[in-house]
């Protein structure tokens, strides 16, 4: 087959750059308008059946004008997102994002950098972020770390490094079974489900994860932890990993990190901290002392996309022992040959520290966020969300129709409307709140009671949003018990 110049298709770049440029500016303006006017929109609205149906189209074979596709985005996608940019969003633990993070994402996409490795400044940006994380968390400068999708993936990496540390390099070639060991891990009943999921994915099985009870403040009971480790050891298991949580997803409880670190040390176990949203409270001087012990962790998993307000996704794993981390993942491959200089220099590369070879430039939006806002301001935002949670707690205490269901440790408040058949009524209130577009808390269950759970993460949320949540809860609750 010969290639004639006529068969060469146009590239995917525009023929007419000025028109693309104009359209690009319009798209940017639309998104800036969206963020500027976010308060005037409902938090969330259900997707109309017609919009959902119309959206389903066969594979487009022919081109469509960019402006037309963007119109579809504006009319069919943008209005029906989950709404976590909105100040009334208080469900789960979702970050609010920022315009600065959005602009940095655009720059990263334009550069189209692949951060698997090679000698390039984008990799240096990620290394700079790692050094800042080490400084913030009180880790040695030679610790290693990596951007990943989120805390779930960061947890998988931590479990795999800990598994390698206890079983040795052989586990990578011969698997776990060849070791003849039955590894066990420990976390509290308040821990996030990703820890069990990653035990499964690491081949250890969820049964090998012991769920340690919590005290009345929902913090891990370290006496029970130590007893469970001893019992496992006595019955021939190999305890290897403890995951404490700094900011549980249900109530915002912080496990006693120093006490857990002491247990880990006494028994020679890996000490991991799930700091998904809570670890970045190190940015807030008023809260940081409550995370004492974090600096003793062997690994920390956390997200810049929650309290750090960096746009999704921006998880991070920090590992104290660089060599152990490298030895868990590094794999020689002819096509990934390293050189001392040239483009294939700068080894080791990020791909030597995790499962991903191709990796996006997540570091840039986090780096921009820290540079533009500064760590103090980000810390103030975090502290403010905790103050709002205390304000909400106070409002609940002053409102006889409402009942607080858990202590308020950080930024999460669990409460409910008092009434008969409270589980059903409160579940209905949560759905009605979300559908009202005023506020969007989520549901959880505490000691068998269904709770309205407000997690205040967004930098845009203020006292007025808390008042609106209280008002709407009372109105909807009263209406539900009458109907």
> Of these, 108, 157, 276, 351, which contacts ligand PLP (CB under 6 A)?
276
Cβ atoms 468, 438 nearer than 8 A = yes
- From CA 155, how far away is CA 302, in angstroms rounded? 9
- From CA 98, how far away is CA 300, in angstroms rounded? 25
Applying CB under 6 A, the span of 47-55, 244-252, 381-389, 398-406 interacting with ligand PLP comes to 244-252
- From CA 281, how far away is CA 301, in angstroms rounded? 14
Q: CA-based Rg of the chain, rounded to a whole angstrom? A: 25
Residue for token pair 């890996």: 270
Q: Does 194 bind ligand PLP (CB under 6 A)?
A: yes
**Residue 147 Cβ vs ligand PLP, minimum distance, rounded to whole Å:** 12
- From CA 225, how far away is CA 214, in angstroms rounded? 10
**Residue 152 Cβ vs ligand PLP, minimum distance, rounded to whole Å:** 3
C-beta of 149 vs 380, nearer to ligand PLP: 149
Q: Does 93 bind ligand PLP (CB under 6 A)?
A: yes
- Tell me the two tokens of residue 432: 């009605």
C-beta of 444 vs 473, nearer to ligand PLP: 444
> Of these, 98, 188, 228, 245, which contacts ligand PLP (CB under 6 A)?
245
> Of these, 126, 226, 274, 465, which contacts ligand PLP (CB under 6 A)?
274
Q: Does 277 bind ligand PLP (CB under 6 A)?
A: yes
- From CA 261, how far away is CA 138, in angstroms rounded? 15
- Following DSSP, what letter does each residue of 422-442 receive, concatenated? HHHHHHHHHHHHHHHTS-EEE
Which of 172, 44, 16, 21 has the alpha carbon at shortest distance from 431? 44
**Residue 254 Cβ vs ligand PLP, minimum distance, rounded to whole Å:** 11
**Residue 303 Cβ vs ligand PLP, minimum distance, rounded to whole Å:** 5
Residues 278-317 that bind ligand PLP (CB under 6 A): 303, 315
**Residue 444 Cβ vs ligand PLP, minimum distance, rounded to whole Å:** 12
Chain-centroid distance of CA 422 in Å reads 31
**Residue 249 Cβ vs ligand PLP, minimum distance, rounded to whole Å:** 4
> Of these, 86, 192, 272, 325, which contacts ligand PLP (CB under 6 A)?
192
C-beta of 151 vs 444, nearer to ligand PLP: 151
Applying CB under 6 A, the span of 150-158, 280-288, 441-449, 473-481 interacting with ligand PLP comes to 150-158
Residue 80: other Cβ atoms inside 10 A = 16
Listing from the earlier edge strand, what are the strands of the sheet with 449-455? 89-90, 440-446, 449-455, 412-417, 402-404
Q: Does 144 bind ligand PLP (CB under 6 A)?
A: no
- From CA 405, how far away is CA 465, in angstroms rounded? 21
C-beta of 93 vs 125, nearer to ligand PLP: 93
Applying CB under 6 A, the span of 54-62, 232-240, 271-279, 403-411 interacting with ligand PLP comes to 271-279
Residue for token pair 């976010």: 38
Cβ atoms 237, 204 nearer than 8 A = no
- From CA 407, how far away is CA 396, in angstroms rounded? 12
C-beta of 171 vs 288, nearer to ligand PLP: 288
Applying CB under 6 A, the span of 123-131, 169-177, 206-214, 247-255 interacting with ligand PLP comes to 247-255
Residues 249-268 that bind ligand PLP (CB under 6 A): 249
User: For residue 313, is the peptide bond before it cis, meaning its omega torsion is within 30 degrees of 0?
Assistant: yes
DSSP bridge partners of 148: 315
> Of these, 84, 152, 187, 228, which contacts ligand PLP (CB under 6 A)?
152
Total binding residues toward ligand PLP, as defined by CB under 6 A: 15
Applying CB under 6 A, the span of 50-58, 148-156, 370-378, 430-438 interacting with ligand PLP comes to 148-156
- Residue 32: CB partners within 8 Å, gap ≥ 6? 99
Instruction: Provide the binding-site residues for ligand PLP, judged by CB under 6 A.
Output: 93, 150-152, 192, 194, 245, 247-249, 274, 276-277, 303, 315
């Amino acid at each position: 087959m010969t290639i004639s110049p006529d068969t060469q298709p146009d590239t995917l770049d525009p023929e007419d750059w000025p028109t693309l440029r104009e359209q690009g500016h319009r798209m940017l303006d639309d998104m800036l308008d969206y963020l500027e006017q976010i308060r005037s929109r409902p938090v969330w609205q259900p997707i109309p059946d017609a919009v959902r149906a119309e959206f389903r189209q066969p594979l487009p074979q022919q081109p469509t004008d960019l402006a037309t596709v963007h119109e579809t985005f504006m009319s069919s996608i943008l209005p029906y997102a989950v709404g976590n940019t909105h100040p009334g969003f208080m469900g789960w633990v979702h970050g609010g994002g920022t315009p600065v993070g959005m602009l940095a994402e655009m720059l990263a996409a334009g550069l189209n950098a692949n951060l698997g490795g090679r000698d390039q400044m984008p990799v240096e940006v990620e290394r700079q972020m790692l050094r800042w994380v080490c400084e913030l968390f009180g880790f040695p400068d030679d610790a290693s770390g990596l951007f990943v999708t989120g805390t779930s993936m960061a947890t998988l990496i931590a479990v795999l490094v800990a598994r390698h540390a206890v079983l040795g390099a052989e586990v990578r070639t011969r698997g776990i079974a060849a070791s003849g060991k039955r590894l066990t891990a420990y976390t509290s009943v308040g821990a996030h489900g990703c820890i069990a999921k990653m035990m499964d994915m690491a081949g250890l099985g969820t049964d090998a994860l012991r769920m340690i009870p919590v005290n009345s403040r929902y913090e891990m009971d370290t006496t029970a932890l130590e007893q469970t480790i001893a019992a496992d050891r006595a019955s021939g298991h190999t305890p290897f990993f403890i995951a404490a949580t700094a900011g549980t997803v249900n109530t915002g409880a912080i496990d006693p990190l120093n006490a857990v670190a002491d247990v880990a040390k006494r028994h020679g176990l890996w000490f991991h901290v799930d700091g998904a949203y809570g670890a970045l409270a190190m940015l807030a001087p008023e809260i940081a002392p409550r995370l004492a012990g974090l600096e003793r962790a062997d690994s920390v998993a956390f997200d810049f996309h929650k309290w750090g307000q960096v746009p999704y996704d921006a998880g991070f794993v920090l590992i104290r022992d660089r060599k152990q981390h490298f030895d868990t993942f590094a794999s020689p491959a002819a096509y990934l040959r390293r050189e001392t200089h040239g483009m294939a220099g700068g080894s080791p590369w990020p791909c030597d520290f995790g499962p991903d070879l191709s990796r996006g430039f997540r570091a840039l939006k986090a780096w921009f966020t820290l540079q533009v806002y500064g760590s103090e301001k980000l810390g103030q935002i975090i502290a403010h969300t905790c103050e709002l949670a205390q304000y909400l707690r106070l409002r609940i205490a002053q409102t006889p129709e409402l009942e607080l269901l858990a202590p308020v440790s950080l930024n999460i408040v669990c409460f409910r409307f008092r009434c008969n058949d409270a589980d059903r009524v409160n579940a209905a209130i949560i759905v009605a709140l979300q559908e009202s577009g005023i506020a969007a808390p989520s549901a959880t269950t505490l000691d068998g009671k269904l709770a309205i759970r407000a997690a205040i993460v967004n930098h845009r949320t203020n006292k007025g949003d808390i008042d609106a949540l209280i008002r709407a809860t009372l109105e909807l609750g009263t209406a539900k018990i009458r109907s």
